[in-house]
Amino acid sequence: MQPIAFCNRCRGMKVGWNRRYVVHYMTCKDLISKSSKLLIPTVLASVLALAVSTPSAFVFSDQDPPQTLRRAALPAPPFIDVDPAIKTMDSFLEGYKIDGGQRSRIARAIVASSRKYNVDPLLVASIMIVESRANPFAISGSDAIGMMQIHLPTWGPRADKEGINLFKIEDNIQFGTRILKDYIRRFGLWEGVKRYKGWNPGSPASAEAVSDYVAKVQGIYGFPKVDTAEAFQ
């Protein structure tokens, strides 16, 4: 049973959070001093204010306020600005169905090598597509290997001396771009591309094969219709 309190002023009352007992507890001269009467309303007002200002997240049991606060405190992921030239090259390679798993890596390698040797990256990409369709493990019947089909009898000793891994995407593209740059410097653009193919001026069969090769490269090089000088800067 709930206990009963008796007061000479308030008479009998049930002990607890009921109106009569609270009023008795706050105002009855027989129970508390004047200073205590001032303290009790202050405490009750603070309790009421706290109850009103408590966030709704604490009211609903299916929410987890501490976890929510921890998530909000996590730093935002850093913003990574991709080189526009790499984006352009990646889109170009995608148009020729180059492997999506390696495409970004190939695009970066082409742009980096082309900038290093001052060769149009679209030309490098076009030659790579004709030579190997971007297969890093391609090997031809004439012992040319990798994406840019480096001819081993001609360039193998130099690659070995310089520690170049011709099956590595970056190494093969950079070495092939370097060879292409030297031919273009010595013979001009399309004559240089012919030399890259391995043109033998004294052989009609070689001339026909090279002519077909250059036509394929030019066909890719002309698509998409972009100003390559601006797109890959």
Scan for tokens 């169905």, then name that residue. 97
Domain(s) labelled CATH 1.10.530.10 in the chain stretch across 84-231
User: CA 53 from chain center: how many Å?
Assistant: 42
State residue 208's pLDDT score: 86
Note the pLDDT tens digit of each residue in 161-188: 999 999 999 999 999 999 999 999 999 9
Q: Which two tokens stand for residue 186?
A: 């010595």
Just give the CATH number of 84-231: 1.10.530.10
pTM: 0.62
pLDDT-derived band at 226, boundaries 50, 70, 90: very low
Going by the DSSP 8-state scheme, the letter that residue 139 receives in this structure is: B
What is d(CA 84, CA 164) in angstroms, rounded to the nearest whole number?
Answer: 28
Measuring CA to CA, how many Å separate 11 from each of 4, 8, 22, 33, 161?
Answer: 10, 5, 14, 19, 109
Tokens of 64: 């987890």
Judge contact between 104 and 80, C-beta under 8 A: no
User: What pLDDT, in 10s, does the model give residues 3-28?
Assistant: 766 676 776 767 666 777 666 666 66
